[in-house]
Amino acid sequence: MSETSLVVAVPANAPAGDVTVTANVDGHSGGGVSFTVIPTPIISQVNPNSGVSGTPVYIAGNNFGYSQGNGTLTFNGVPAASITAWSNTYIYAVPPSNVTTGP
């Protein structure tokens, strides 16, 4: 924290929506600044959960975003070979040929 910046962590249970930060310096309130809390993506299902390289994978869950935008998907840290569909509740992707077992 300094006179020109403030660093805070978004609480794990913060709801989606706007958060306003108001500075109070020497009894004077400053203007608010909006910040949108983005819900954490949740994976509820991976189908199939094993397979040979190139096997298409369906990933179900929530809060993925309504389109891929800047979103990424990795298999054990390696980017997906291709993503054929992306919605807020599911992703269809093909693992890369050099993927190894892992999350």
- Does 77 map to a domain? yes
pTM of the model: 0.69
Check residue 21 and give its pLDDT. Answer: 64
- Does 101 map to a domain? no
- Does 27 map to a domain? no
Torsion sign (Cα): 35, 36, 42, 48: negative
- Does 15 map to a domain? no
Check residue 38 and give its pLDDT. Answer: 79
Q: Residue 46: which domain range?
A: 42-94
CA dist., res. 97 & res. 78, Å (int): 10
- Does 20 map to a domain? no
Check residue 32 and give its pLDDT. Answer: 64
Helix (H, G, I), strand (E, B) or coil at 29: strand
What does each of the 103 residues of the chain score in pLDDT, given as a tens digit? 667 777 888 887 777 667 666 666 665 655 666 777 778 899 999 999 988 878 999 999 999 999 999 899 999 999 999 999 999 999 999 999 988 888 8
